[in-house]
Chain A
Amino acid sequence: MSAYTGKYADELIKTANYLATPGKGILAADESTATIGKRFASINVENIESNRQAYRELLFTAPNTHQFFCGVILFEETLYQKTLGGKPFVKLLEEGGVVSGIKVDKGTVELAGTNGETTTQGHDGLAGRCQQYYQAGARFAKWRAVLKIGLNEPSELAIQQNAQGLARYAIICQENGLVPIVEPEILVDGSHDIRKCAEVTERVLAACYKALNEQHVLLEGTLLKPNMVTPGADAPKVTPEVIAKYTVRALQRTVPPAVPGIVFLSGGQSEEEATVNLNAMNALDTIKPWTLSFSYGRALQQSVLKTWGGDKKNVPSAQKILFIRGKANSEATLGKYKGDAASSGTSESLYVKDYKY
């Protein structure tokens, strides 16, 4: 009896290590059909399959960007889509050294008796789906648990439920060959200060790793996708260095060194903020036994989407923006970002209250 040592153990460790390569990160392009519909609506593009296919082809064929991404998270539909030329996206990405991942949760549901707290569903039939996704070429998975900070939140119930849900998902993935990205997102909504966010993050992560141990999850074959530790959206801002210190300290206190990589979510941060904060963490001179990198959705795509606007002739310039953001974040993982990718639009906050996707 120990951590998972089944037939996929070595492959899981190799994949997880690759996904933690310094200088690279993950492009989160796993918006569900409904969510991508919301994005398209903001640029007046119809939410039909051909548009979804066109948009993702834009992302995955952007020239010279594969060097910045060790992985891309996909939604189920996208996993099976192809380029207009007929090449499966998974194959295209693989050729560029980009591993395909797959979102496997089925969204959140409210926990009765709480003040709007949720748990995440998706365990039913998960093993079978993982096997199918593995067949289709996916090698990692993602499951988003959501917690919020309030006067009495997160409650012990919410913490336990979400931690258990993540751990159960994680072991099922590993048994079926997929590296699980463990994502316990604590929403930025609220007016709490950064200290409070640190307390809650530490509490939640400690519970998560306890649950992962209970379920015999092989930590060397996982990644963590946490929020950065920041003040609430309605609280006064602090500098990237302060964010970096509180974030790294919270991780030092809770994430075992066996985990190869921590890939932050961007939450509601603007594209530039997300890069600058990641850079500050990597520039911090302290103990960091795991790689600190990115798994950004909005913070990589917002300007790309706007520039594209659904128009074919905008594709090259939109792709150029992906290159710029990809490069900036790649430098940030090495603590070497100089701020030269900042431009109009990239400082726009992407915060959406009570974000659901």
Chain B
Amino acid sequence: MAAMACSSVMELGSVTCQTVGNASTSGAGRSENAAMTRSVFLGSSSLGFYKTAAALVSTPQSRKNSQNVEYQRRQVVMTSDFEKTNPYAEELKRTAAYIAAPGKGILASDESNATTGKRLATVGLDNTEENRQAWRELLYTAPGLGNYISGCIMFEETLFQSTRDGKQFVDVLKGQGIVPGIKVDTGLQPIDGTDGETATQGLDGLGERCRRYYQQGARFAKWRAVIKVDAEKHPSSTAIIENAHGLARYAQICQANGLVPIVEPEVTLGDGDYSIERTAYISERVNSHVFRFLNEYNVILEGILLKPNMILPGLDVPTPAPEEVAKYTVRTMLRSIPAAVPGIHFLSGGMSEEEATLNLNALQAYGPTPWSLTFSYGRALQSSTLKIWSGKEENWNAAQERLVALAKANSEAQLGKYTGPHPSPGGTRILQQLRLGGAGK
């Protein structure tokens, strides 16, 4: 079992397996606060999933005798049975810990073809495969990106694409020390009988797709659930339960097939003047449902990442100061996220590029926290990058520099060390309409 787990780790870097029981130091982690150092038992390694020479793998459990196996079948399979029988358990924990490393975050570039088309259109580009490929090549080959980005979420088409020179994108990313990830949901569907609330689809055949993505080199996945909020009526209980269930089932299937699930319960920034307290309360409630279901579905929490919204009031309320956002956001996380989760990667969800960085930086003042507070940004890393490129070869380098500068600013913010000036100062909220009925195209 140990050998199998090791060979399923990516080939880059030398990974040797040691049995648990060696009290080796797990290196970096949060060295600035000894109380936060993760133990060997939790199987962390923030020294680099690819570069570490001491990946810690638990000794495989011996097979139970037939009598015990029979006994087990009569019981509900619970968390630690799943951990025992899941050959990916240790790898999941290591990958999650690597992605949640201090000073790092995730680049979310998993826009579906339809959504990508809309973005390309803003700079006058047609939605062709060639243009989509060129745009992602610009992002992934940006020199030095791997200093600040530990994971990159891709859309299915992109996972199988290559650079113009023929190098697979997954290899480009691995070369930068960036773990490839894959969006696996197939879009939003309305929940009939509700007023504009949605469920996320994509469970059918998910196991099979996960296996294919794992083969290709993906090691984590993402599924976006969207919860609509207003001052009084939304979200309904139905919407919360439906979305929490979808997330938990998705997470379980991913873990069974070797992918770390990013659990994304987005309480979406919307119209209205609902207060920041309202968003905080709804987010706590949603998270509570999500974690109850994750427990029910035997998801190994050390092997997931969370991608929540920061706590913001409705669009008709003036943008709050970063300190206020930080206070409510950290309080919400403390009230609802168990310590076993290694990293919380906030979505940018409409915040301007600068706002996203300032808010992230402000969060760190409320630490230390048991999970890292970091980013998984799409629009907040790509908006101005795209504008600078505008499809023109001569702008290629400048666009890449912008991307890396944005990533660096957010990396500094993750460490609580961001001072500015921001590469894209000012800027308005970057909002997008919720697309319904997508089948992941």
Q: Which residue of A lies closest to B368 (CB)?
A: A289
Looking at chain A's contact residues, is the secondary structure mostly helix, strand, loop, or mixed?
helix
A256–B80 alpha-carbon span in the complex (Å): 20
Knowing A203-B78, A257-B369, A286-B39 are in contact, say whether A213-B338 is a contact too (CB < 8 A): no
Q: Are B339 and A2 in contact (CB under 8 A)?
A: no
Q: Judge whether A252 and B295 touch: CB under 8 Å.
A: no
**B39 contacts A207, C-beta separation under 8 Å:** no
Q: Which of A218-263 contact B (CB under 8 A)?
A: 219-220, 245, 249, 251-258
Is B160 positioned at the interface, with any CB of A under 8 Å from its CB?
A: no
Task: Tell whether A249 pairs with B284 under 8 Å between CB atoms, given A198-B80, A210-B292, A257-B334.
Answer: no
Query: 8 Å CB contacts to A: which residues of B52-84?
Result: 74-75, 78-81, 84
B-side contacts of A286, CB under 8 Å: 37-39, 41-42
Which chain B residue shows the least CB distance to A284? B39
| Chain B CB within 8 A of A3 CB | yes
Q: Which has the most chain A C-beta neighbours within 10 Å: B35, B80, B278? A: B80
Query: How far is B74's CA from A200's CA once the two chains are assembled, in angstroms?
Result: 16
* A203 to B369 Cα, complex, angstroms: 24
Q: Tell me whether A183 is interfacial, beta carbon within 8 Å.
A: no
Cβ contact within 8 Å between A252 and B338:
yes
Please give the distance in Å from A347's CB to the nearest CB on chain B: 27
Q: How far is the CA of A257 from the CA of B366 in the complex (A)?
A: 13
Q: Does A84 contact B (CB under 8 A)?
A: no
Q: Which residues of A contact B220 (CB under 8 A)?
A: none
> Is B370 on the interface with A (CB-CB < 8 A)?
yes
Q: Does A112 contact B (CB under 8 A)?
A: no
Cα distance A284–B336 when bound, in Å?
A: 24
Q: Are B295 and A203 in contact (CB under 8 A)?
A: yes
Closest to B39 in A: A286
A251 neighbours in B (Cβ, 8 Å): 339
Q: How far is the CA of A198 from the CA of B35 in the complex (A)?
A: 24
Please name all residues of chain A whose beta carbon is closer than 8 Å to the beta carbon of B278 when the two chains form the complex: 1
Return the contact of A256 from the options B39, B74, B334 (Cβ within 8 A): B334
Contact call A249/B42, Cβ cutoff below 8 A: yes
Residues of A within 8 A of B281 (CB): 1-3
Q: How many residues of B contact A (CB 8 A)?
A: 38
**What CA separation (Å) do A207 and B291 show in the bound complex?**
9
Enumerate chain B residues within 8 angstroms of A285, measured Cβ to Cβ: 37, 39
Provide the A196-216 mask, 1 if CB < 8 A to any CB of B, else 0. 001110110011011001100
Q: Provide the main secondary structure of the chain B interface.
A: helix
Q: Which residues of A contact B80 (CB under 8 A)?
A: 195, 198-199
> Closest residue to A209 on the B side, CB-wise?
B288
A287 engages B336 (CB within 8 Å): no
> Bound complex: CA of A198 vs CA of B80, how far in Å?
8
Does A249 contact B41, Cβ atoms closer than 8 Å? Answer: yes
Distance of A200 Cα from B81 Cα, bound (Å) = 12
B340 at the interface (CB under 8 A from A): yes
With both beta carbons as reference points, the residue of chain A lying nearest to B292 in the complex is identified as A210
Task: Report the Cα distance A199→B80, complex, angstroms.
Answer: 6
Chain B residue contacts of A254, Cβ below 8 A: 295, 338
B251 interface residue (CB < 8 Å to A): no
Q: How far is it, in angstroms, between the C-alpha of A195 and the C-alpha of B335 when the chains are bound?
A: 27
| Measured CA separation A213–B75 after assembly (Å) | 29
A2:B37 contact, CB within 8 angstroms: no
In the complex, how many angstroms separate the beta carbon of B94 from the nearest chain A beta carbon?
Answer: 16
Residues of A within 8 A of B339 (CB): 251-253, 255, 257, 287-289
Q: Is the CB of B370 within 8 A of A206?
A: no
Q: Which A251-282 residues sit within 8 Å CB-CB of chain B? A: 251-258
Cβ of A158 to closest chain B Cβ, rounded Å: 14
Tell me the A117-144 residues at the B interface (CB within 8 Å).
none
Q: Within the assembled complex, what's the spacing in Å between the Cα atoms of A213 and B293?
A: 14
Q: Report yes or no: A287 in contact with B79, Cβ–Cβ below 8 A.
A: no
Q: Is A253 within 8 A of B340, CB to CB? A: yes
Q: CA separation between A2 and B277, bound complex, in Å?
A: 8
Contact A199 B289 (CB under 8 A): no
Chain B contacts for A199, CB-based, 8 A: 78-81
**How many whole Å from B144's CB to the nearest CB in chain A?**
31
Is the CB–CB distance between B334 and A202 below 8 Å? no
How far, in angstroms, from A286 to B370 measured CA to CA in the complex? Answer: 10
CB proximity to B under 8 Å, residues A129-188: 151-152
Interface centre among A198, A207, A209 (most CB of B within 10 A): A209
- B336 near A256 with CB under 8 A, answer yes
Which residues of B sit under 8 angstroms from A214, Cβ to Cβ?
A: 288
- On chain A, the residues within 8 Å of B439 by CB distance are none
Does B337 count as interface, using CB distance less than 8 angstroms?
Answer: yes
The reply to whether the CB of B211 lies closer than 8 angstroms to some CB of chain A is: no
Query: B292 near A202 (CB under 8 angstroms)?
Result: no
A287 near B38 (CB under 8 angstroms)? yes
The answer to whether B280 has its CB under 8 Å from any CB of chain A is yes
With a cutoff of 8 Å between Cβ atoms, the chain B residues found around residue A249 in the complex are: 41-42, 340
**B294's closest neighbor in chain A, by CB?**
A206
* Chain A residues with CB below 8 A from B331, complex form: 258
Q: Does B296 contact A (CB under 8 A)?
A: yes
Give Cα A258 to B366, complex, Å. Answer: 13
Could you tell me the distance in whole angstroms from the C-beta of B319 to the nearest C-beta in chain A? 21
Of the candidates B284, B289, B295, B370, the one whose C-beta lies within 8 Å of that of A257 is B370
* Contact residues in A for B36 (Cβ distance below 8 Å): 287
Does residue B388 face the partner (Cβ distance < 8 Å to A)? no
List, sorted by A's number, 7 A–B pairs whose CB atoms are closer than 8 Å.
Answer: A202-B295, A209-B288, A213-B285, A213-B336, A252-B301, A253-B339, A286-B37
20 other A-B residue contacts (CB within 8 Å) besides A2-B280, A199-B80, A252-B338: A3-B284, A195-B80, A199-B78, A199-B79, A202-B78, A206-B292, A209-B292, A210-B288, A213-B285, A249-B42, A249-B340, A252-B370, A253-B79, A256-B335, A256-B337, A258-B335, A285-B39, A286-B41, A288-B339, A289-B370
Q: Which 8 A-B pairs have the closest CB atoms?
A: A206-B295, A199-B78, A213-B288, A286-B39, A210-B292, A258-B334, A252-B340, A2-B281
Binding site for B on A (CB under 8 A): 1-3, 151-152, 195, 198-200, 202-203, 206-207, 209-210, 213-214, 219-220, 245, 249, 251-258, 284-289
B residues bordering A, Cβ < 8 Å?
A: 35-39, 41-42, 74-75, 78-81, 84, 277-278, 280-281, 284-285, 288-289, 291-292, 295-296, 301, 331, 333-340, 369-370
